[in-house]
């Protein structure tokens, strides 16, 4: 790649390329390989857990069934039991005597101690026996499914699983799901009498061994007909067996066949499909490490890049000012690196250029200052030709003659008019406090009351904290004057003007309301348009300039930050709300103080000269 290509890239782009290809992509590739390895190890661990679970299930079920089968061997070789079953009894008493003797010397009386054998029954084709307890005649079971399946199998010992629905309605009869070991008791001959032993294994105990396998997967144990056991929660021995073919549509993760008694049972397992991100989230330490690998370099690159590009942007901006002949010093901490040295060198250059300009152009500047002073003197001479003192003295003379004639009301009004006129002609200080503005407004209202008598009512409220705020002189009074002239003078009804000046945490509010003639909708829209697009050109063309002039002065004084809203309805009056940010008000106070200080300093220097 051509070296000029990199020379044409800005520093931000270069840092971004460096970060992407030398930091981000290598980290992502490395982390991806680690994540893939962790996921593979997790799956291998999951398969090992399934394998061990299968082995435990096979061992537990096989041992339990083997233990039950071992018990049948004891009964199969019990000669006392065989003798009892073969004997022909002549009476009930004889049967019960023999039955009790047999129980005293037979394992039937203590076979439940292991807890695995839920029920033991013995059947014999001997009609002299009395059915009851653990021993009954074979004719009572001829129609049962388990007996017919046993006969059909042709085996001497038979393991059979079935659902015994009759147990639903017999409390304490155990689970409906039944696994039985059926065996012929023909060890001692006597082919003429058929003898059977039926043992019901405790299904819930076998099920518990499977349910206890808490692994990330599902285990099924089935024979050719049914799903015998599973580790699915809420599996119950009272539910009907599911058929073994319900899992044929799914590909098992592992399967194994083992011998259980006389049957072959199959263990089928399905591993839980854990999403890749779940595996990663389970390894929170590894996840935090991955995030740390990405976040720390990203933050460092960002901070370093910002340090470089920000300062270079500032230097570029100030060099642009130099092109416009604006020589300003960069005023912030430069740093100790190469960019810091460039900034310090730039500042030294600007200072030297400004010194050079001051030396070279000082003479011209002094000459221009003298010419400007001459022009100002000529202007003041022209202004002095129109001397307002003549008008002030005339008003004062009229006031004094009114006092001599005891026309006190007229004298007071003329005095207030003279004060208003004097203040309106004095523009040395354009900004006054709200309290001073209110004094001016009250004098104006007094003059209007003198003209119209009780026709005008004026109500006002100024929040104490607002009295010292500075505003342009004769701005609020212009809105009050507008309310009098255009609102109240045109109506014959009693006129009311309301002025409220308040504030909250963010804004200063000035509200002026009157109940005068109001504006028609078209005129109101015209005023709103003038306010929204106000400028000095419009001021020179407009017929009614009082409100527009006051708005423009407020807008300029508060740096275009005021909000003005006017609402009016014919014969109902006009409402004006002016909203000014407190920050703008406070900034104007500071600016006025700086201006006054500069004027004082200049006056002091002039006096020194």
C-alpha span between 263 and 574 (Å, rounded)? 102
Percentage of the chain lying above the pLDDT 70 cut:
76
Q: Calculate mean pLDDT across residues 279-299.
A: 71
Q: Which of 33-47, 235-249, 303-317, 400-414 has the lowest mean pLDDT?
A: 400-414
Q: Give 117-134 pLDDT, tens digit per residue.
A: 888 889 998 888 887 778
Q: Is the pLDDT of residue 324 over 50?
A: yes
Pull the structure tokens for residue 212.
């206890």
Cβ 294 vs Cβ 24: under 8 Å: yes
Q: Calculate mean pLDDT across residues 483-507.
A: 83
The reported pTM is 0.46
C-alpha span between 65 and 56 (Å, rounded)? 14
Domain annotation for the chain: domains and CATH numbers: 71-205 (3.30.450), 430-608 (3.30.565.10)
Q: Calculate mean pLDDT across residues 178-191.
A: 84
Mean pLDDT of the chain: 78
CA geometry: angle 436, 441, 446, nearest 5 deg: 130
184-215 burial, b at 16+ Cβ within 10 Å, e below that, comes to ebebeeeeebebbbbbbbbbeebbebbbebeb
At residue 7 the predicted structure's pLDDT band, cuts being 50, 70 and 90, is: low
pLDDT at 500: 95
pLDDT at 281: 61
Q: Is the pLDDT of residue 79 over 60?
A: yes
Q: Is the pLDDT of residue 509 over 90?
A: yes
Q: Give 442-482 pLDDT, tens digit per residue.
A: 888 887 777 777 778 889 999 999 988 988 888 888 888 88
**What are the beta bridge partners of residue 117?**
201
Cβ 547 vs Cβ 479: under 8 Å: yes
Q: Give 518-543 pLDDT, tens digit per residue.
A: 888 988 888 888 888 877 666 656 65
Q: Calculate mean pLDDT across residues 155-159.
A: 90
Q: Is the pLDDT of residue 189 over 50?
A: yes
Terminal alpha carbon distance of the chain: 71
At residue 224 the predicted structure's pLDDT band, cuts being 50, 70 and 90, is: confident
Q: Calculate mean pLDDT across residues 410-425.
A: 64
pLDDT at 431: 81
Count Cβ atoms within 10 A of the Cβ of residue 352 and give its class: 0-12 exposed, 13-18 middle, 19 or more buried.
exposed
């Amino acid at each position: 790649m051509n070296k000029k290509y990199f020379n044409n890239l800005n520093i931000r782009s270069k840092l971004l390329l460096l970060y992407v290809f030398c930091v981000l992509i290598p980290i992502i590739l490395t982390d991806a390989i680690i994540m893939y390895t962790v996921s593979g190890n997790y799956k291998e661990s999951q398969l090992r857990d399934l394998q061990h679970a299968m082995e435990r299930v096979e061992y537990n079920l096989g041992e339990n069934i083997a233990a039950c089968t071992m018990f049948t061997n004891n009964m199969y070789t019990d000669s006392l039991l065989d003798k009892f079953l073969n004997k022909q009894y002549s009476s009930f008493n004889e049967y019960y005597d023999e039955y009790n003797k047999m129980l005293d010397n037979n394992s039937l009386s203590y076979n439940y101690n292991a807890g695995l054998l839920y029920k033991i029954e013995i059947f014999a084709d001997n009609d002299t026996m009395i059915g009851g307890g653990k021993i009954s005649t074979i004719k009572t079971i001829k129609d049962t499914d388990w007996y017919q399946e046993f006969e059909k199998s042709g085996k001497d010992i038979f393991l059979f699983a079935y659902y015994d629905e009759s147990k639903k309605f017999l409390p304490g009869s155990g689970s409906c799901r039944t696994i039985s070991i059926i065996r012929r008791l023909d060890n001692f001959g006597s082919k003429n009498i058929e003898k059977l032993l039926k043992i019901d294994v405790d299904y819930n105990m076998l099920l518990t061994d499977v349910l206890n396998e808490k692994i990330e997967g599902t285990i099924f144990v089935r024979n050719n007909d049914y799903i015998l056991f599973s580790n699915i929660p809420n599996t119950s021995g009272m539910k009907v067996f599911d058929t073994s073919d319900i899992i044929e549509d799914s590909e098992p993760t592992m399967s194994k066949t083992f011998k259980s008694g006389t049957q072959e049972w199959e263990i089928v397992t399905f591993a839980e499909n854990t999403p890749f991100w779940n595996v990663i989230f389970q390894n929170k330490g590894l996840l935090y490490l991955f995030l740390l690998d990405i976040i720390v370099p990203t933050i460092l690159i960002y901070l370093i890049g910002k340090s470089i590009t920000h300062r270079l942007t500032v230097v570029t901006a100030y060099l642009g000012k130099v092109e416009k002949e604006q020589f300003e010093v960069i005023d912030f901490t430069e740093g100790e690196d190469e960019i810091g040295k460039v900034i310090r060198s730039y500042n030294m250059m600007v200072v030297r250029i400004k010194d050079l300009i001051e030396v070279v152009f000082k003479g011209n500047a002094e000459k221009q200052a003298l010419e400007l002073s001459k022009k100002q003197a000529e202007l003041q001479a022209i202004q002095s030709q129109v001397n307002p003192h003549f008008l002030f003295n005339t008003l004062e003379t009229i006031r004094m003659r009114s006092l001599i004639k005891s026309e006190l009301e007229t004298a007071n009004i003329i005095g207030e008019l003279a004060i208003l006129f004097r203040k309106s002609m004095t523009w040395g200080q354009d900004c006054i406090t709200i309290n001073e503005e209110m004094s001016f407004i009250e004098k104006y209202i007094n003059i209007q009351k003198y003209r119209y008598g009780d026709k005008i009512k004026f109500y006002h409220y100024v929040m104490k904290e607002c009295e010292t705020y500075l505003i342009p002189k004769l701005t609020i009074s212009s809105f009050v004057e507008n309310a009098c002239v255009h609102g109240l003078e045109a109506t014959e009804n009693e006129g009311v003007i309301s002025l409220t000046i308040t504030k909250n945490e963010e804004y200063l509010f000035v509200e002026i309301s009157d109940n005068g003639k109001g504006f028609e909708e078209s005129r109101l829209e015209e005023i709103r348009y003038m306010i929204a697009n106000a400028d000095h050109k419009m001021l020179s063309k407009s017929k009614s300039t009082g409100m527009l002039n006051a708005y423009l002065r407020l807008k300029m004084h508060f740096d275009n930050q005021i909000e003005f809203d006017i609402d009016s309805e014919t014969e109902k009056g006009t409402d004006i709300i002016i909203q000014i940010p407190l920050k703008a008000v406070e900034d104007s106070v500071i600016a006025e103080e700086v201006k006054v200080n500069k004027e004082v300093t200049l006056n002091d220097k002039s006096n020194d000269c």
